[in-house]
Amino acid sequence: MKLALQLAYKNLIGAGLRTWLNAIVLSFAFVIIIFFNGLMDGWNQQAKTDTVAWEYGHGQLLHSAYDPFDPFTLQDAHGPIPSNTNLSPILIRSAAIYPEGRIVPVTLKGIDNSNKTLDLPTDILKQSAAENPVIIGKRMAKSNELKKGDNVILRWRDKNGTFDAQTITIAGIFDTEVVSADKGLVWIELDKLWAMTGMQNQATMLIANDQYQHKETAGWTFKTQEELLSTIQKMIDMKKSSSSIMYVLLMAIALLAIFDTQVLSIFRRQKEIGTYVALGMTRPQVVGLFTVEGAMYSLFALVLAALYGTPLLGYLAKTGYAIGEAQQDMGIPIASRIFPVYGIPLVLWTVFFIVIAATIVSYLPARRIAKMDPVAALKGKLQ
Amino acid sequence: MSNIISLTSVTKRFPVGDGEFTALKNINLNVEKGEFSGLVGPSGSGKTTLLNIIGSLDKPTEGQAIVMGKDIAKLTHKESARLRNEHIGFIFQVYNLLPVYTVFENVEFALLLQDYTKAQRKKAVMEALDWVGLASMANKKPSKLSGGEGQRVSIARAIVKRPVILLADEPTANLDAENAHGILKIMKRLNQELDTTFLFSTHDEKVMSYLNRIIHLRDGQIEQDEQITAKSASS
């Protein structure tokens, strides 16, 4: 093996530009695969962190009648708040606002104005001098052309299903990457919502803080943080697997270059192969030498990728990768800039995968050497 | 003296289209250690085929070829490789130097397949290059050498492992007269000083003038086996 490595190294260095062209193509595969996987991991990490901070907390207790995917359950999905200081109650009601005369269905969420569990700026509600202050997200504000200080009519149903309406004031507009804490939502003080609906001490869901220890509570279903985040994980996994098509294409181009070089080498270097055999190398040794040569392309590519990839990927990890605005509304939290995360397992797996793939595509044409007639090879006859 | 090459009724046939071509017919030949002999004959007479069988690069279709006590037909690929690596040196018409290696590395190659230390390899390679007068060119690439120098490197590569048998296939065919004589003198000296057995395949008169034994081949058969007296052979 040591001999094969020594000889392969000399042969590849001796081959000059041909070697470096293959190594450069393969190094692109290294860098791009690591970058995109790092980007996905960074997105995953950011999305989870943001969603925990803005929506999930350390788990949620959902009213047993509440189905987050069925708005019709909202009418009856509420119950008395269990006494636990580690839970922040949220009451959810369907409502509508009328910005400039248009009717816009919204979800009205009542939250304690001293909430510390979620990152929502509920202090604004406490500090506002308006009669009915609310806060909304930047997407909600943009889509309805609302700005801070605007007054808009809000219509809702009380506990008996009777419509009522009042003017609310946009006390603040917050910026979050978590679309589900923003789009179509109006956040109001919980006390105010209780008063408006006549649903004192009622909640639809309870957000747990990091001190919360779960005990079975009748009428409430507990969803752990992991369960809640599993949807994001699934979406990112799906996105990752769809991106793998790009990796396959990229790898196919790089590996095809190696395969092509190997096939060409075996035809062009028949005299050399014959000489190796005449000098006493066994055929498996020659097959091994050519296979190691092919595999060594991936090691050269690794060195090249490290040379230009390390500063490039490091720079992107520091400055982040800008995401288009349109992509930020796709339903999963996407920051305006994603900061790729390159874990050691990601780098090691990528290296392992590319080295193995390069070795296999090098071995396939090299097997032909084992069937070569050394006499014909010495004469350079095509076989 | 003992026979280190012993061929008995060796026949070699090659498939050609639907039929067969007989390259060697019923060859019987013994070569003793230290001989400086040549297979002489026109193109297609079977010289190279016979050398390839002796060098265990090929196997006889019929008959028995015993080289260094080994039956060539019965050797596995691995055993053949070991025989070539340890006991047989090859010199080719077109030198077959490995283009990406330096002169030193080309000569060193055969030793890499054996258990030599780096220091032993260096000593052996420099000795071999001294023999052929190319020690000063150790770091040059084959592309920078003349034809005569290339063939001398090829000789150094063949003798560096001190083989018992050295097979040379038309070694002077690509060389001018001056270089050819220079090469042949080196080989003759190696034969005399190292007692290496040389077997040439040639139709070059210059080579024949150095041989102690000329085996004439025609149409795959030995036509004449001629012993040359020491006086008549060049030295």
Domain ranges of chain A: 2-52+230-379, 60-223
pLDDT by residue (tens digit) across B2-19? 789 999 999 999 988 889
- Both structure tokens of A265: 């080498």
- CA quadruple A205, A208, A214, A219: dihedral, nearest 10: -10
8 Å CB contact of B90 and A278 = yes
A–B interface: beta-carbon pairs under 8 A:
63
Q: What is the mean pLDDT of residues A268-282?
A: 89
8 Å CB contact of B112 and A271: no
Residue B229 has pLDDT above 80, yes or no: no
CA distance A145 to A129: 22
The answer to whether the CB atoms of A3 and B57 lie below 8 A apart is no
pLDDT digits (tens, 9 = 90+) for A193-247: 999 999 999 999 999 999 988 888 889 999 999 999 998 888 878 877 887 787 7
Read off the pLDDT band of B175 (50, 70, 90). confident
Contact assignment for A279 to B58 by CB distance below 8 Å: no
Determine, yes or no, domain membership for B173.
yes
In which element (H, E) is residue B175 found? none
Percent of chain A whose predicted confidence (pLDDT) is above 90: 44
Residues in chain B within 8 Å Cβ distance of A15: 100
Domain that holds residue B92: 34-60+74-227
Q: Flag whether B40 is in a domain.
A: yes
Per-residue pLDDT band for B235 (boundaries 50, 70, 90) equals very low
Segment B139-166 shows an average pLDDT of 91
Substitution target from B91, B112, B170 for chain A, most A beta carbons within 10 A: B112
User: How much is the pLDDT for A103?
Assistant: 94
pLDDT at A329 over 60: no
pLDDT in tens, B36-59: 999 999 988 999 999 999 999 999
Residue B20, phi then psi, degrees to nearest 5:
-140, 150
Whole-number average pLDDT of chain B:
90
The yes-or-no verdict on residue A49 having pLDDT over 80 is yes
**pLDDT tens profile A254-266:** 888 888 888 888 8
pLDDT > 70 fraction of chain A, expressed in percent and rounded: 96
- The answer to whether position B171 is within a domain reads yes
Is B157 in contact with A277 (Cβ distance < 8 A)? no
Domain assignment of residue B51, yes or no? yes
- The chain-wide mean pLDDT, for chain A, equals 88
| Cβ atoms of A184 and A105 closer than 8 Å | yes
The dihedral of CA B130, B131, B133, B138: what is its sign?
negative
Q: Is residue B12 part of a domain?
A: no
- The CA distance from A14 to the nearest CA of chain B, in Å, is 5
Q: What's the mean pLDDT in B115-132?
A: 92
What pLDDT shows up at residue B230?
58
Structure tokens at B149: 């120098």
| CATH number of the domain residue B173 falls in | 3.40.50.300
Q: Is the dihedral of CA B122, B123, B128, B133 positive or negative?
A: positive
Give a yes or no: residue B49 inside a domain.
yes
CA angle A72, A78, A79 (to 5 degrees): 160
Residues in A whose CB is inside 8 Å of some CB of B read 3, 6-7, 10-11, 13-15, 271-272, 274-275, 277-283, 285, 374-375, 378
Confidence of residue A71 (pLDDT cuts 50, 70, 90): confident
Nearest-Cα residue of chain A relative to residue B59: A375
Q: Work out the number of other CB atoms within 10 angstroms of the CB of residue B63.
A: 18
- Residue B72 burial (CB count, 10 A): 24
Residue in A13, A14, A279 closest to B110 by CB? A279
Tokens 């002999």 appear where? B37
Tally of helices (H runs) and strands (E runs) in chain B: 7, 10
pLDDT score of A155 more than 80? yes
Write the residue in A271, A278, A378 that is nearest to B84 by C-beta. Answer: A278
Contact state of A279 with B100 under an 8 Å Cβ cutoff: no
CB atoms within 10 A of CB A128: 18
Q: Is the pLDDT of residue A80 over 90?
A: yes
Q: How far is B143 from chain A (nearest CA, A)?
A: 12
- Other residues' Cβ atoms within 10 Å of the Cβ of residue A202: 20
Q: How many domains does chain B have?
A: 1
pLDDT of residue A165: 94
Give the residue among A175, A177, A183, A365 at the shortest CA–CA distance from A265. A365
Q: Do B85 and A6 touch (CB under 8 A)?
A: no
CA distance to partner chain B, nearest, from residue A373 (Å): 8
Does the residue B6 lie in any domain? no
- Cα of B228 to nearest chain A Cα, Å: 30
The answer to whether A111 and A122 are in contact (CB under 8 A) is yes
Q: Which residues of A touch B101 (CB under 8 A)?
A: 10, 14
State the helix-helix crossing angle for B118-131 and B177-194, rounded to 10 degrees. Answer: 130
| CA distances for A288 relative to A244, A283, A363, B6, angstroms | 31, 8, 8, 34
Burial group, residue A116, by CB count within 10 angstroms (0-12, 13-18, 19+): exposed
Q: Is there a contact between B5 and B201 (Cβ–Cβ < 8 Å)?
A: no
Predicted pLDDT of residue A78: 93
Residues of B with CB under 8 A from a CB of A: 52, 55, 57-58, 77-78, 81-82, 84-86, 90, 92, 94, 96, 98-101, 105, 109-110, 112-113, 157
Interface test with A, best of B48, B109, B114, B170 (most A CBs within 10 A): B109
Task: Assign A325 a pLDDT band (cuts: 50, 70, 90).
Answer: low
* Beta-bridge mates of residue B178: none
Spell out which residues of chain B touch residue A10, defining contact as CB-CB under 8 Å: 100-101, 105
Chain A residues touching residue B78 (CB < 8 angstroms): 282
Residues facing residue A95 across a β-bridge = A106, A156
Our CA-based measurement puts residue B234 at a distance from the nearest CA of chain A, in whole angstroms, of: 30
What band does B137 get if pLDDT is binned at 50, 70 and 90?
A: very high
User: How high is the pLDDT of residue B89?
Assistant: 92
Could you tell me if residue B26 is inside a domain?
Answer: no
> Which pLDDT score is estimated for A133?
96
Across the range A13-33, mean pLDDT stands at 86
Residue in B57, B77, B105 nearest the CB of A278: B57
